[in-house]
Structure 1
């Protein structure tokens, strides 16, 4: 098993990731679009499925919940700025970072807090973004992550104008994962970052989070080997070197890596995921949504290589968590949304 060779240093990947985040936020044309952008950035680029966005009220003494995901919202709907780590961030305008900041004064629900950043507007703290448990692949907060949090701090204020999150109906059923997700824990798991690709000739479960990005999963029906690419943009800009961040380079590189393991195109099938319009009103260059352009690139590239697409879950307005098994080609998708 191996990662498809990269052509850029990690610092370059962080810069590209953060540039995508900044552009996503700057292009938000409404508060709802901005909320969607924040959710995608936290889940897909930062690496957490548990977060809350809170706004400072007019009295500047309390915080109200704008949106959340993966947490019990009851403790965050209305909070005093005088309590806990989240309140401290709102009062002082200084970020909390696990392992770098003091946890003194943390409330019970803040024990799993990984980061909390002030959302700035007009030189004042207008709200806070609290991020809780990180995804399993994350070993901590890197310098690139800190830069990403700074981008959210500076550009996420429009999201605070969205209508406050409504409490769920009392009888709302609890979502449960289908049995295959539980069984999959027996496999070795590898998390795929945006702009990354991985192939394996032994059983591995590849996991990633998708918004407007696209994951292409390839599986050889004869050899029972497979791999996945996760790219952010459809094509490399003119004058820029090829990179796995772009579909026109990532898909051929993934296929070439499988062929080096003995795979042949006639026995390879593909599955496509992602390409959501998570910032539905914001238009990418050329007037087409970024997610749709990413999907179109995958279909075109796979068609050019004679690879049949046997399944897909693309488009829509919600993010996705994807798990793909290289031993049997099984793909499992969980829809991500704001609570």
Structure 2
């Protein structure tokens, strides 16, 4: 995760990468770039506590546990649980959580449509847990840059052009190829 200050807005910004999430109560911005990955931007509108995750694949079928900084957050089943738990620990109320979903683009046309599976997982998780989706920009063939302001709930989405597809697709391919070589470790029990 990279922290910086946006000179134009004068706001502290956290850039998250695949397998990361960030939660805040402060007037900050969280941003990421998505291809087939999904980011859930989630907040409690009463407390202003909000956060964002960035996951690469839908489910770790071995589901042995994860920690906040673990590579296990590359999987949706860990990334969603860890984000929701961090929001609740920061003072959010479960019944007020609002979800905004982004990503799931098909940017690697020669491989399995991972974005489609990620979208399916995200919808299944949200509806199974009884949460509500208030906004979304998912699917299609575009990578996206997401700027999220958790305190207000505002999201800015920029669809990136095809030139970015090749570099993002190469980055996602490298990440996917490395996933199999790293064990999933941690101490969170999924139920």
Normalized against structure 2, the TM-score is what? Answer: 0.76
Q: 2:73 aligns with which of 241, 244, 255?
A: 244
Aligned-pair CA distance for 1:191: 0.4
Runs of 4+ in 1 over 6 A off after TM superposition: none
Q: Which residue of 1 aligns with 2:24?
A: 200
Aligned-pair CA distance for 1:223: 0.5
Alpha-carbon displacement from aligned partner over 1:213-266 (angstroms, at most 9, x marks no partner): 000010111101100010000001337654111001110110011111121121
Give unpaired runs (5+ residues) of structure 1: 4-136, 140-181, 284-288
Q: Is the 8 A contact 2:56 2:76 kept in 1?
A: yes
Query: 1:119-130 to 2 correspondence within 5 Å?
Result: none
The DSSP-based 3-state class of the residue aligned with 1:202 is: coil
The DSSP-based 3-state class of the residue aligned with 1:259 is: helix
2:108 aligned with 1:279, yes or no? yes
Instruction: Using CA pairs under 8 Å that are at least 6 residues apart, name the structure with larger relative contact order, 1 or 2.
Output: 2
Q: Distance in 2 between matches of 1:239 and 1:311?
A: 29
Q: Distance in 2 between matches of 1:204 and 1:305?
A: 27
Q: Which residue of 2 aligns with 1:231?
A: 55
The DSSP-based 3-state class of the residue aligned with 2:125 is: helix
Q: Is the 8 A contact 2:36 2:118 kept in 1?
A: yes
Larger radius of gyration: 1
Q: Which residue of 2 aligns with 1:268?
A: 97
Q: Which residue of 2 aligns with 1:144?
A: none
Q: Distance in 1 between matches of 2:8 and 2:81?
A: 28
2:152 aligned with 1:323, yes or no? no
Query: 1:1-339 to 2 correspondence within 5 Å?
Result: 137=2, 185-238=9-62, 241-242=65-66, 243-283=72-112, 289-339=113-163
The DSSP-based 3-state class of the residue aligned with 1:302 is: helix
Aligned-pair CA distance for 1:185: 2.2
Q: Distance in 2 between matches of 1:232 and 1:252?
A: 15
Cα RMSD (Å)? 2.2
The DSSP-based 3-state class of the residue aligned with 1:244 is: helix
The DSSP-based 3-state class of the residue aligned with 2:151 is: coil
Q: Distance in 1 between matches of 2:100 and 2:8?
A: 18
The 1:330–1:240 alpha-carbon spacing in structure 2 relative to 1, beyond 3 Å, is same
Aligned-pair CA distance for 1:336: 1.0
The DSSP-based 3-state class of the residue aligned with 1:312 is: strand
Give unpaired runs (5+ residues) of structure 2: 67-71, 164-191
Normalized against structure 1, the TM-score is what? Answer: 0.44
Q: Is the 8 A contact 1:213 1:276 kept in 2?
A: yes
Q: Is the 8 A contact 2:3 2:15 kept in 1?
A: no
The DSSP-based 3-state class of the residue aligned with 2:162 is: coil
Q: Distance in 2 between matches of 1:186 and 1:239?
A: 41
Q: State how many pairs are aligned.
A: 157
Q: Is the 8 A contact 1:269 1:310 kept in 2?
A: yes
Q: Distance in 1 between matches of 2:9 and 2:131?
A: 29
Q: Distance in 1 between matches of 2:62 and 2:103?
A: 25
Q: Distance in 2 between matches of 1:239 and 1:217?
A: 23
